[in-house]
């Protein structure tokens, strides 16, 4: 969300020591100052000492440390998803991005994917990544199934699992509940049980459920924090997170977006070319409709203060987000918080510790997602779901082109096989061709990793410049944020090529 600069003069190098990507959540390194002349790399620092850049193996360790792939069972249960590839690369320490993916086990089934971009710390994004899918599931379940859940709790029986999570081993676990979060979720389904079940079309039901789940979770985060007695709920509510969630069921995509992460569909034209289609709109000052929505919710006298310097009240870039209660609570509630819990405020970002300027008619920030629906066509091959860290570096058409060409290369690589009557000379040619195709898709079998490599190392001509990639990945945490944001990508494969 900060401005990006591309001058890589005077970078740092990370020297890796005993790094095991399977046992360590992040590389262990020591920091050394290096000098890289603009436009190239040097093996000497300013003192004339010989130094080494990151090796290809070290680059791959960084890029692949958090990659994850999962193939869903073929058949109706997949609901239109073949498999997905995911990866995340931190810039902040700790990263403020989170990701989630899960299969719904009850009701209409389907698969959920989400990316969550936190700000003012990672705790809100972490909470949303753990809890939102449960709220969505409860919002979509028929009342008879919710009644079965309630009976199980009342009779002290095991509650049937709602979700099967698909997660990288280094991602934080997503427990079903426990403590306040389960209590809030149960309150939600109990309130749903008091409603009358309405007859609605499937697409209307899903849209309504997604909107209701987002808003209810945000409401619960606020209620849990307003007691002021527990530090953890307060920190969650004081920080914030955008969210972009995809629900795939019965060959239909529903995308619920809150903020500036994006979902972009990649489809193949009849002539083989790749095209991109956005299923989300950014909720920020670059979206005129979103600016008008914000202005329309406040008196004309605030027209010059609601959006200042392209930010909400001059402070926040996204116009929709979870948490961020300093843009939602009343002035009286916020002042009471500042007076009674200085201990919590001292542990959060400095910008959160005071009342925003021109804070006259709250709430200013919305947690209502914008939901779009798309029927999956045979030409629709994949969906790229990513936080804004990717879209700040790459145009959507470039992203789709890279993914499409990568998938085509992997498919060709898999389908090269010798025939029984092949001569030795023909086999030699086949192996050379296979080697060329393997090199053409680089080291990456994971499509999300392939995107990361190109986003950070692009030479301006569609290829990866190893020197540039090494420089970007060598930046220490205190400098990395000036050049790029946290990046989280999930590529969902929908149809065979």
pLDDT surpassing 50 at residue 246:
yes
Is residue 460 very low, low, confident or very high in pLDDT (cuts 50, 70, 90)?
A: confident
**Does the model's pTM come out above 0.75?**
yes
Measured in Å, how far apart are the chain's first and last C-alpha atoms? 35
pLDDT at residue number 180 = 64
Stronger pLDDT, 411 or 459, i.e. the higher one? 459
User: What gap in Å lies between CA 481 and CA 497, rounded to an integer?
Assistant: 37
SS (H, E, C) 120-136: CCCHHHHHHHHHHHHHH
Choice among 107-116, 148-157, 169-178, 354-363 with the minimum mean pLDDT: 169-178
Predicted confidence (pLDDT) at residue 51 exceeds the cutoff of 90: no
Sorting pLDDT into bands at 50, 70 and 90, what band is 425? confident
Q: What is the pLDDT of residues 273-331, one digit of tens each?
A: 999 999 999 999 999 999 999 999 999 999 999 999 999 999 999 999 999 999 999 99
- The CATH code of the domain at 96-254+280-374 is 3.60.40.10
CB-count burial class (<10 Å; 0-12, 13-18, 19+) for 59 = buried
Whether 171 has a pLDDT exceeding 50, the answer reads yes
Please determine, for residue 46, whether its predicted confidence score (pLDDT) is greater than 70.
Answer: no
In this prediction, residue 68 has a pLDDT band, given cuts at 50, 70 and 90, of very high
Q: Categorize the per-residue pLDDT at 204 as very low, low, confident or very high, splitting at 50, 70 and 90.
A: confident
**What is the pLDDT confidence band of residue 27, given thresholds at 50, 70 and 90?**
very low
Please state the separation of Cα 438 from the chain's center in Å: 29
Least reliable range by pLDDT among 163-167, 437-441, 455-459: 437-441
Going by pLDDT thresholds of 50, 70 and 90, the confidence category of residue 496 is: confident
Query: Where are any strands of DSSP class E within 336-415?
Result: 370-375, 380-386
8 A C-beta contact, residue 497 and residue 411 = yes
Place of tokens 């709602």: 162
What digits encode the pLDDT tens for the residues 372-382?
Answer: 999 999 999 99
- Higher pLDDT pick, 214 / 29: 214
């Amino acid at each position: 969300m900060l401005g990006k600069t591309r001058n890589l003069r005077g970078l740092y190098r990370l020297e890796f020591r005993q790094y095991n990507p399977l046992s360590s959540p992040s590389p262990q390194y020591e920091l050394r100052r290096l000098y890289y002349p603009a436009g190239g790399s040097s093996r000497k620092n300013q003192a004339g000492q010989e130094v080494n850049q990151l090796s290809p193996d070290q680059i791959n360790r960084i890029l692949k440390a958090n990659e994850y792939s999962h193939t869903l069972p073929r058949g109706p249960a997949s609901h239109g998803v073949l498999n997905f590839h995911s990866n995340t690369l931190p810039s902040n320490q700790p990263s403020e991005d989170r990701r989630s993916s899960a299969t719904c086990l009850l009701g209409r089934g389907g698969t959920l994917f989400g990316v969550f971009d936190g700000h003012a710390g990672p705790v809100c994004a972490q909470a949303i990544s753990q809890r939102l899918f449960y709220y969505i599931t409860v919002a979509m379940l028929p009342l008879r199934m919710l009644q079965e859940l309630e009976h199980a709790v009342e009779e002290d029986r095991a509650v049937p699992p709602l979700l099967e999570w698909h997660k990288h081993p280094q991602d934080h676990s997503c427990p079903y509940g426990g403590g306040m979060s389960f209590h809030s979720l149960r309150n939600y389904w109990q309130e749903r049980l008091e409603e009358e079940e309405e007859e609605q079309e499937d697409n209307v039901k899903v849209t309504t459920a997604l909107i209701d789940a987002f808003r209810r979770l945000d409401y619960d985060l606020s209620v849990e924090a307003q007691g002021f007695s527990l530090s953890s709920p307060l920190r969650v509510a004081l920080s914030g997170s955008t969210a972009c969630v995809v629900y795939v069921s019965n060959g239909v995509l529903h995308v619920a977006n809150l903020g500036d992460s994006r979902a972009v569909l990649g489809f193949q034209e009849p002539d083989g070319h790749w095209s991109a289609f956005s299923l989300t709109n950014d909720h920020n000052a670059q979206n005129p409709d979103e600016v008008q929505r914000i202005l329309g919710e406040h008196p004309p006298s605030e027209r010059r203060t609601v959006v200042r310097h392209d930010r909400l009240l001059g402070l926040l870039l996204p116009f929709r987000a979870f948490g961020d209660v300093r843009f939602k609570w009343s002035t009286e509630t916020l002042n009471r918080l500042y007076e009674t819990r200085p201990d919590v405020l001292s542990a959060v970002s400095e910008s959160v510790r005071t009342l925003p300027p021109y804070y006259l008619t709250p709430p200013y920030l919305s947690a209502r997602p914008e939901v779009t629906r798309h029927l999956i066509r045979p030409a629709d091959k994949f969906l790229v779901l990513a936080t804004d860290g990717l879209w700040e570096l790459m145009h959507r058409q470039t992203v789709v082109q890279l993914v499409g060409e990568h998938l085509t290369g992997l498919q060709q690589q898999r389908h090269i096989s010798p025939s029984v009557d092949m001569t030795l000379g023909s086999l030699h040619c086949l192996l050379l061709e296979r080697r060329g195709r393997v090199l053409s898709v680089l080291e990456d079998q994971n499509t999300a990793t392939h995107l990361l490599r190109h986003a950070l190392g692009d030479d301006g001509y569609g290829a990866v410049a190893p020197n540039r990639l090494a420089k970007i990945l060598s930046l220490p945490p205190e400098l990395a944020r000036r050049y790029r944001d946290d990046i989280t990508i999930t590529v969902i494969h929908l149809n065979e090529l």
